[in-house]
Amino acid sequence: DTAVSQTPKYLVTQMGNDKSIKCEQNLGHDTMYWYKQDSKKFLKIMFSYNNKELIINETVPNRFSPKSPDKAHLNLHINSLELGDSAVYFCASSQDGGNMNTEAFFGQGTRLTVV
């Protein structure tokens, strides 16, 4: 069983399009995240979300929006895609245990290429 699964694994699309990446976790975790990893391998938090609040990294453009239909899912919608959005996007989840031991489990990543 895959703990955190995201689809698609690869996504190639044209500039200006709108696309979504789906994420599901079967770990019963309270918190889910989206990370962006650029070509230099720097892994940067985009969103943190649980059933109580959404925390947004202020550097993330508002073209990016998370949508959570339920606790096990956190999808990422991207509007008006730009070349600079090309990256690998990772979904992750963790148990909301405060500041201790909040190990994050990652999905396999979605490689987005904007042409």
Partner 1 sequence: QKEVEQNSGPLSVPEGAIASLNCTYSDRGSQSFFWYRQYSGKSPELIMFIYSNGDKEDGRFTAQLNKASQYVSLLIRDSQPSDSATYLCAVNNAGNMLTFGGGTRLMVKP
Q: Which residues bind partner 1 (CB under 8 A)?
A: 31, 33, 35, 40-45, 48, 50, 55, 90, 94, 96, 98-109
Q: Is the peptide bond before 69 cis (omega within 30 degrees of 0)?
A: no
Count the neighbouring beta carbons within 10 Å of the beta carbon of residue 17. Answer: 12
- Of the pair 18, 103, the CB lying nearest partner 1 is at 103
Closer residue to partner 1 in complex, CB, 68/79: 68
Least Å distance, CB 25 to partner 1, is: 13
The residues facing 37 across adjacent strands are 43, 88
The answer to whether 6 touches 91, Cβ cutoff 8 Å, is yes
Nearer to partner 1, 22 or 79 (CB): 22
